Structure 1
Amino acid sequence: MLPNLTIPFALLLGTALWSVSAFAGEIDFNREIRPILSENCFYCHGQDPNHREADLRLDVRQDALDYGAFEPGDAEASVLIERVLSDDPDMLMPPPDANRTLTDAEKALLRQWVDEGAEYQQHWAFVAPVRPAVPSVTDPQWARNAIDFFVLSKLEENGWQPSPPAERATLIKRLYADMLGLPPTPEEVDQFVHNDDPGAYDALVERLLASPHYGERMALPWLDAARYADSNGFQQDGDTWQWMWRDWVVDAINEDMPFDQFTIEQLAGDLLPDATTDQKIASGFNRNHLLNGEGGAIAEEQRFNILFDRIDTTTTNWLGLTVACAQCHDHKYDPISQKDYYRLLDAFNRVPENGRPQRFSSRIRVGNPVLELPTAENKERISEFQANIAAAKKELDPLMDAAYEGWRLGLGSGQDLAQDESLPESLRTKLEKPKGKRSEEEKQAIEKEWRSYFQRSARDELAQKTEPGRRVTKIENQLAGYRGDQIPRPMVMSDDKPRDTHVLDRGAYLSPLEKVTFDTPAFLPPLPDDAPKNRLGFARWLMADTHPLTARVQVNRMWQHSFGMGIVKTSEDFGVQSEFPVHQDLLDWMAVEFRASGWSRKHVHRLIVTSSTYRQSSRMTEKHRTEDIENRLIARATRIRMPSMVLRDWALASAGLLDDRIGGHPVYPYQPDAVWEALAITKERDFTYPASTGGDLYRRSLYTFWRRTVAPTNMFDASDRQACRVRAAATITPLHALTTLNDPTWIEAARVLAGNCLVEADELRSQLQSAFESIACRTATDSELRRLEDAYQKQFEGFRADPAAAIEFLDVGKTSRDTTLAPVQHAAMTAVCLAIFNLDESLTRE
């Protein structure tokens, strides 16, 4: 029998990093054992009965005991330990062909756990958070708020020290990048760097929280999570009006709408009593899905695809769980049954939709239900159309009257018109009564019907043969086209079409099994008895104080925004396969604080950015590099390559090009020629890219039209917006540099910035300093300026040798270049500004 072992946590491969329990003492099931069982055992010995081997279930203690898997307190007599330690491939668990292998450290942990009694715990994330006590630390002066006490306590526990604070220029750039996604001006940097007021930092935070650009920056990850786009996807890829929902999100964040209200309006705004237009627009969160309008698509199949996507998106966003596999079978790891999945789906299975988009114009294809929301401009234009139609009809009416009289005279009095089946039935019914016995009202009714019948039958002929008729037809067609193409119709939710919901055999929509009605997953707190059994009840249930997941999931995403990684790394998955969080106490404290603050996201964001933890330097020491490369202990700030959307906005703002209008229709900035050409496989629709002009070319990236089939080419590493994504991917490929060095946006921004610098200062060094400060948000050192001067001279010599190249370089972009500037000098400075844009420091939030 192996002795109980004290195992250094650095050796525990496969278990949570930075596990700090004393393994010579009692093992923590959630921290040390569940990750081993979940990764290696639950797939075959978990809750899914259809995939369970040997009828052994290891995720429930009593089931494992009943089976005889282990003897609590006696590892030597336990079959589980015998199998994991076996050298016999026929006995070994996990089996060799399972592609799962336990390390020696993991085997020793299991053995120690059984010897200690093999106790189980409920998964930590499925237990409602309780506010833990703020820990004591040896250096309380370092801590500015509760976050710091939790972080410093863990650092001290592991023999670490926090990093020194970042330089003030770094801090202001960090804040602007995280909170606005825009650079501070050189003047703002200078004022902050030289401000000795102890409250200057907090005052800056408050100013940024109050900025209307705060909502724009903070909306970006929410749009990724909601899979927001401006088109449907698939072959036809019709345009939509979902930008009205996007604007609602920006406004709600700027107003610091409490997150419970933010949740309820997006999941069930249409079901609120006397729902406002804005609340109905908010429900468009669950209408941001793809819509397949291809000819071979089966409408009902597509409707179920939308439903499945709706459930996945909602559960990922609020529960932080991956439930998609329960569409076909019980979840193999988390306690989510297939029945749970379809009970939840029932609340979303009442939308009067058929799974396919309706065509409102050659460009617009959206699926009912929609809101028709004409703007003031729309109403004015419609009135103009209607006035023009009325004017043309004044000319047409006499012609119609004359034609009508001629038509009536040619009818003939002897014909039995009541039997003429070519006439409308309503008219024939009126004509059955003899002419002499008709009352005056009946005569007027017949006359009205005659005229209506004639107008319907003769209109097309007159429209073709007369100029007024052709003009009326043309304007009416223009009006119909305008209504279809220009009147916003955002897609929203509705429960106007209740349906029966069934568990589907293997998720196949044509194979219904048991009928189910709405309920919440059985392993989470129950839905209150008086709660409505619909999306509104579901949304309110998510925000209950007893709910274990919602608040944790949200504050974890806020932490991820500021530190590049959540306290729980898998921000999309808080289930049993997620890691045990190093800072669980901090996560729980923040979750409870979030609720107690009235669900104020600005409050939580303020706590994060005003903490000493956030203000640390991001410089890495050898200890950081070798012992905590992922910064799980948060012993430093994290360097984060800014998202491509932010990098584009940063370049525009640095040059003074940014058009900072808030909200509105999507815009079409620079894209490669014929970028949408591959979509034009039929003549049904023109897929020419409608490039913007004027200020629309320089709107924030948030407002760029997002086509699902061909996303904006200069927004690398962005979500494709085809599915929910709550954790951004950061890659490094040459395509990124090719974008930031060659895309017209960056070249034009460099050229405009260069011109500004040349105009503002006469001396080269001052010009270069100004350019550097505008982009990097700090003063360049003498050494850096010398290198920039060398770069300028090399570029100057190159362009002096080829003046035509200088002119060509300066002609990139739609803004007119300053012709008072010498082209060679301007081009050389432009090349240097472009190089500064591409410095690692410029691309990175430190």
Structure 2
Amino acid sequence: MLRTHLIVLITMFAPTFVAGGEIDFSREVLPILSDKCFVCHGPDSEEGLLRLDSYEAATEDLGGYHAIDPAAVDKSNLIERINHADDPMPPEDAEKQLTADERNTLQKWVQQGGKYARHWAFVAPQAAPDHNGDSPEQIDTFIRRQLLAKNIDFAPVADNATLARRAALVLTGLPPDPDQLDAFLADDSADAYETLVDQLLQDSRFGEHQARYWLDAVRYGDTHGLHLDNRRGIYPYRDWVVRAFNNNLPLNDFITWQLAGDLMPKPTLEQQIATGFVRLNPSTGEGGAIANEFQAKNNFDRVENFGTVFLGLSLTCARCHTHKYDPIQHDEYYQLMAFFNSTAEPALDGNSYTYGPTVRVPANQQDWQLWQQHTVASQQLLSGFDKQRVVSTGTESSRDAQLLQYAQSTAKWKSSDWQYTTPLPSAAEIPPAQVNDPSKSKWTKGAGLPGSISGRAAKKKLPSKGQAVWVRFDLNAPKEQSFWLTFSGERGSQVFVDDQTDAVAAKANDSRVQTSRMQVSAGKHRIQIKILGGPSVTELTAQIHNPWDALASSKDWSKASSSDQLLMVSDPLGPAAVWASDASANQIATSIQAIQDSFTTTLIAQELPQARETFVLHRGEYDQPQGDPLPRDVLKVTNAFPADAPRNRLGLAQWLTSAEHPLVARVLVNRIWQRVFGEAIVRSPEDFGVQGQQPTHPELLDWLAVELQRSQWDLKHLLRLMVTSRAFRQHSAHRTDVDDPENKLIARGPRFRLDAEVLRDMGLWASGLLDPRMGGEGVKPYQPSGMWKALAHPASNTKSYVRDAGDKLYRRSLYVYWKRTSPHPMMTLFDAPDRESSCVRRSRTSTALQSLGMLNETQRVEMARKLAERLIVENDNDAERLQLLFKLIASRSPNATERTACVDLLNQMKKRYSQNEQDAKKLLSIGDAETNDELDPITLAAWTQVAVTVLASDLAILVY
């Protein structure tokens, strides 16, 4: 009776609601339940406790009452408890309490029947039926709809100079080139802006800029990240990302290659490099570390990075228990982990630059271009050669038979008695083969040769500068034939045959090794190699190769690799030289060998022959497996695993990129929108789950996701739509007629601070210092001394920061060496992540220390000095110099206020330095770049101060 009276009283005094439209469960109710209720009553509730994460649980009979009573909704216990004066839910001591509006929403929802629906992000996106086009006007329609509902419209279109700068910074990370800007401003055609956008999309700098965002997300780093934080060889993956964006590789292929390039039929070199994505997890080689523990930890990191990057979900909770907020079961986490648990690299990295599977690849973008050109030429040559491999008439044997016969005749060659000396003075004569006292012999049996000796095995064996190591071996050739000899050493290292005093090959470049063709007569020969030492010699390499061996072994030309086929075709002693050789074959073969000699290594993914078993781990503890081994599977809250897909990483990629997947396309377009407009449509890009934020424009998000798939996953198409939209082209000034400080309505154009890399790159570009070379190992610009040492283990090979010199100081910031435990301080100062974990949204802070860095850091002063030189050299008077400064930085002329401020500063600085020329010279001495001594130091120093000030102002540091 008391309970009945209490319900009546509560109902009488409960807040009422105004009858209106249907409550949207997914967008209005679920966020409340997730935020205020699921911590106790969600998917991971204690057994026997009320659950509110499903209709079945919420309507369950709980002993005479229901949280939601479909038969009598007004008597639902949920309404009673959220309005209870003495015993409310959430309890009075709960951290989060319901607001009055939230109570009204829940009550109204229950009284409308308490119907449940799937969270919006777990339903496949559908484009609005009246939006079938692919023009930027489609974007504007969605945005304008919300604006007109509030009796407002888009802001006026920004002026052309501002638009040019905005588009260039968003697409390439640099302002428009002056000539490009002039051409655009002079173009009166209706499609002038679209033409500019197309130029920017084709600029090679596009891929460099877009790659930054992806590298943040996948936590790319040049070091292992844990314990010693040693160097690791994976920068070719970074360069592949740049090429993929520049070549507009469809994003579904971009995803598939990274997850499973090694599992594709006949994987290409690029597809293998792309699997470096799987190898980017922080790793350790710490003594005492338990391999099984780090096998689990490495895969935890991969699964959780996978969740953030592709699903926009935090999966970390499910490592230890069923997710408290999203419908992700504990065992589903481990079923997903099973896809990654059978990759072939060891659990511990051995503190090695190369550990686990690697592949040799071109070392930079220039070498990639050469490699591709020569590969195409080789394919064309071999294709032509294959057409000549026809069976002859009469009694002659087929040409295949001739090739095989020659291959077998050369196959009985042998090498033996491999030896090398201890390091000797480079000018010393070669030690004699025999000495009376064997204990005094300088020759050692060549353990590790033929091949390469590097790392710890090479300790005390490698020659240093001014030294040489001699390697020798015997070569027995059954007939006159040619071989390819590969050897290491500094430029000038030489190869001798028998007693000849003239070298048959000499190292002519600074590549890692050199591969040279050598020709010997039939019989036994002594081959001797003088390997000179130096700072770049990190291995002792000597090996010999006869490409005909592959054919002699397989007896099938088609089974030989294309590289061996090319070497056979180009062999001057082989049958092809008589009847089928292309004149360019030897040139192509030699060029390809030279490129291969400079190859570097990169970490790649490979599967074990036998898959590891994966178990649920109790509370995520590696040594507490539970139950039976789990099959590989995906999250059931999304779409089903494709029926015809293999249960491996390739099948996982096919699941991700299927049209039915509700998350991937949304997650990708949301982050693309964020880099264009400064803020995402879902402003929690790392969390599309029920704890994440609602999209500001849900229909627009879905349309973009569908358009991405409809366009064959075309990134450049999507970016073009965004930057040519009316929404993007708005003036960005704050609007007094719109109460929207966060610009969620998109009632004005984008305005946000640029990232750390862009701030540095812009200064280098404006000053003329920016080195345009692309790719290669990370570079080390100026940095305060001792930073790495203070944070590093004494045994680390990254404890000492040795900065670069010359052009490397001025490479684009994408290529700055990324030590995970100590990123470059100017990057960190401007909110770059450490890349120990995924980052899909950088913070944007504003601190006094940033101002100090912008005005005083070595490279900032140096780039301002060179910018000042440019202004003075290219212009005859201060007015024109100021005009050029603003054109480079702001893509426009200074206004009256800006002109007055800069002229006043310039005059003050001229006066100051005219009174103390030594201060001017001291300022001009900062940085390695040479100072133009023909310029007046007082004028140059004064303009340096103006330049550094403008580079630190909002004119330079903002997109607007």
Q: For residue 278 of structure 1, give the secondary structure of its aligned residue in structure 2.
A: helix
Q: Which residue of 2 aligns with 1:38?
A: 34
Q: Which residue of 1 aligns with 2:23?
A: 27
Q: Which residue of 1 aligns with 2:356?
A: 368
* Cα deviations by residue, 1:563-606 (Å, 9 ceiling, x for unpaired): 11111111111111222223111111111110010110111101
Asked whether 1:823 is paired with 2:880, we answer: no
Contact 1:161 1:635 in 2 (8 A): yes
Q: Which residue of 2 aligns with 1:150?
A: 142
Contact 2:780 2:804 in 1 (8 A): yes
Q: Which residue of 1 aligns with 2:498?
A: none
Q: Which residue of 1 aligns with 2:434?
A: 400
Q: Which residue of 2 aligns with 1:694?
A: 806
Q: CA deviation at 1:369?
A: 2.1
Q: CA deviation at 1:300?
A: 2.2
Q: CA deviation at 1:557?
A: 0.7
Q: Which residue of 2 aligns with 1:71?
A: 69
Q: Which residue of 1 aligns with 2:538?
A: 481
Contact 1:4 1:24 in 2 (8 A): no
Contact 1:741 1:834 in 2 (8 A): yes
Q: Which residue of 2 aligns with 1:504?
A: 617
Q: Residue type of the partner of 2:721?
A: L
Provide the rounded CA distance (Å) in 1 between the counterparts of 2:106 and 2:423: 88
Contact 1:388 1:475 in 2 (8 A): no
* Cα deviations by residue, 1:153-206 (Å, 9 ceiling, x for unpaired): 121123221111111111111011100111223343333234221110000010
1:227 to 1:752, Cα distance in 2 relative to 1, 3 A = same
Q: Which residue of 2 aligns with 1:18?
A: none
Q: Which residue of 1 aligns with 2:51?
A: 57
Q: Which residue of 1 aligns with 2:925?
A: 811
Provide the rounded CA distance (Å) in 1 between the counterparts of 2:872 and 2:178: 16
Q: CA deviation at 1:292?
A: 1.4
Q: Which residue of 1 aligns with 2:178?
A: 186
Asked whether 1:133 is paired with 2:129, we answer: yes
Q: Residue type of the partner of 1:400?
A: Q
Q: Which residue of 2 aligns with 1:781?
A: 895
Provide the rounded CA distance (Å) in 2 between the counterparts of 1:72 and 1:44: 23
Q: Residue type of the partner of 1:687?
A: K
Contact 1:32 1:109 in 2 (8 A): yes
Q: For residue 709 of structure 2, give the secondary structure of its aligned residue in structure 1.
A: helix
Provide the rounded CA distance (Å) in 2 between the counterparts of 1:636 and 1:607: 17
Alignment of 1:94-173 (within 5 A): 94-134=90-130, 144-173=136-165
1:78 to 1:601, Cα distance in 2 relative to 1, 3 A = same
Provide the rounded CA distance (Å) in 2 between the counterparts of 1:115 and 1:662: 63
Q: Normalising by the residue count of structure 1, what TM-score does the alignment of the two structures yield?
A: 0.84
Q: CA deviation at 1:298?
A: 2.3
Choose which of 775, 788, 794 in structure 2 pairs with 1:663. 775
Asked whether 1:252 is paired with 2:253, we answer: no
Alignment of 1:545-624 (within 5 A): 545-624=659-738
Q: For residue 233 of structure 1, give the secondary structure of its aligned residue in structure 2.
A: coil
Q: Residue type of the partner of 1:328?
A: C
Q: For residue 208 of structure 1, give the secondary structure of its aligned residue in structure 2.
A: helix
Q: Which moved more, 1:295-304 or 1:243-252?
A: 295-304
Q: Which residue of 1 aligns with 2:592?
A: none
Provide the rounded CA distance (Å) in 1 between the counterparts of 2:460 and 2:332: 62
Over the aligned positions, Cα root-mean-square deviation in angstroms equals: 3.3
Q: Which residue of 1 aligns with 2:4?
A: none
Unaligned regions of 5+ residues in structure 2, if any?
A: 1-11, 369-417, 442-449, 451-458, 473-529, 542-596
Q: For residue 746 of structure 2, give the secondary structure of its aligned residue in structure 1.
A: coil
* Cα deviations by residue, 1:204-260 (Å, 9 ceiling, x for unpaired): 010011111100010000000010011112331111121100000000010110111
Q: Which residue of 1 aligns with 2:655?
A: 541
- Structure 1 runs (4+) greater than 4 angstroms displaced: 1-4, 373-378, 386-398, 401-407, 460-464, 467-480, 483-487, 683-686
Give aligned pairs, total.
Answer: 758
Contact 1:236 1:679 in 2 (8 A): no
Contact 2:231 2:798 in 1 (8 A): no
Q: Residue type of the partner of 1:93?
A: M
Choose which of 874, 877, 881 in structure 2 pairs with 1:763. 877
Q: Which residue of 1 aligns with 2:788?
A: 676
Q: CA deviation at 1:321?
A: 0.8
Q: CA deviation at 1:299?
A: 2.5
Q: Residue type of the partner of 1:706?
A: W
1:404 to 1:122, Cα distance in 2 relative to 1, 3 A = same
Contact 2:883 2:893 in 1 (8 A): yes
Q: Which residue of 2 aligns with 1:14?
A: none
Choose which of 911, 915, 930 in structure 2 pairs with 1:797. 911
Q: For residue 399 of structure 1, give the secondary structure of its aligned residue in structure 2.
A: coil
* Cα deviations by residue, 1:99-122 (Å, 9 ceiling, x for unpaired): 011111111111111111111111
Provide the rounded CA distance (Å) in 1 between the counterparts of 2:176 and 2:467: 60
Q: For residue 490 of structure 1, give the secondary structure of its aligned residue in structure 2.
A: strand
Q: For residue 710 of structure 1, give the secondary structure of its aligned residue in structure 2.
A: coil
Q: For residue 706 of structure 2, give the secondary structure of its aligned residue in structure 1.
A: helix
1:257 to 1:814, Cα distance in 2 relative to 1, 3 A = same
Provide the rounded CA distance (Å) in 2 between the counterparts of 1:395 and 1:754: 56
Contact 1:799 1:827 in 2 (8 A): yes
Q: Residue type of the partner of 1:178?
A: V
**Identity of paired residues, percent?**
39
* Cα deviations by residue, 1:457-500 (Å, 9 ceiling, x for unpaired): xxx99999xx9997559959989833699963211111115211
Q: CA deviation at 1:798?
A: 1.5
Larger proportion of strand? 2
Alignment of 1:728-743 (within 5 A): 728-743=842-857
Q: Normalising by the residue count of structure 2, what TM-score does the alignment of the two structures yield?
A: 0.75
Alignment of 1:279-318 (within 5 A): 279-318=271-310
Contact 2:326 2:689 in 1 (8 A): yes
Provide the rounded CA distance (Å) in 1 between the counterparts of 2:799 and 2:747: 51
Provide the rounded CA distance (Å) in 1 between the counterparts of 2:363 and 2:461: 34
Q: CA deviation at 1:628?
A: 1.6
Q: Which residue of 1 aligns with 2:558?
A: none
Provide the rounded CA distance (Å) in 2 between the counterparts of 1:489 and 1:767: 47
Alignment of 1:272-421 (within 5 A): 272-360=264-352, 365-373=353-361, 398-400=432-434
Q: Residue type of the partner of 2:539?
A: Y
Contact 2:462 2:533 in 1 (8 A): no
* Cα deviations by residue, 1:627-653 (Å, 9 ceiling, x for unpaired): 221111111112110001001000000
Larger proportion of helix? 1
1:224 to 1:71, Cα distance in 2 relative to 1, 3 A = same
Q: CA deviation at 1:801?
A: 2.0
Asked whether 1:529 is paired with 2:643, we answer: yes
Q: For residue 102 of structure 1, give the secondary structure of its aligned residue in structure 2.
A: coil
Contact 2:126 2:706 in 1 (8 A): yes
1:390 to 1:317, Cα distance in 2 relative to 1, 3 A = same
Provide the rounded CA distance (Å) in 2 between the counterparts of 1:203 and 1:820: 41
1:470 to 1:33, Cα distance in 2 relative to 1, 3 A = closer
Q: Which residue of 2 aligns with 1:87?
A: 85
Q: Which residue of 2 aligns with 1:633?
A: 745
Q: CA deviation at 1:755?
A: 1.2
Q: Residue type of the partner of 2:57?
A: D
Provide the rounded CA distance (Å) in 1 between the counterparts of 2:182 and 2:725: 22
Provide the rounded CA distance (Å) in 2 between the counterparts of 1:683 and 1:610: 53
Asked whether 1:201 is paired with 2:193, we answer: yes
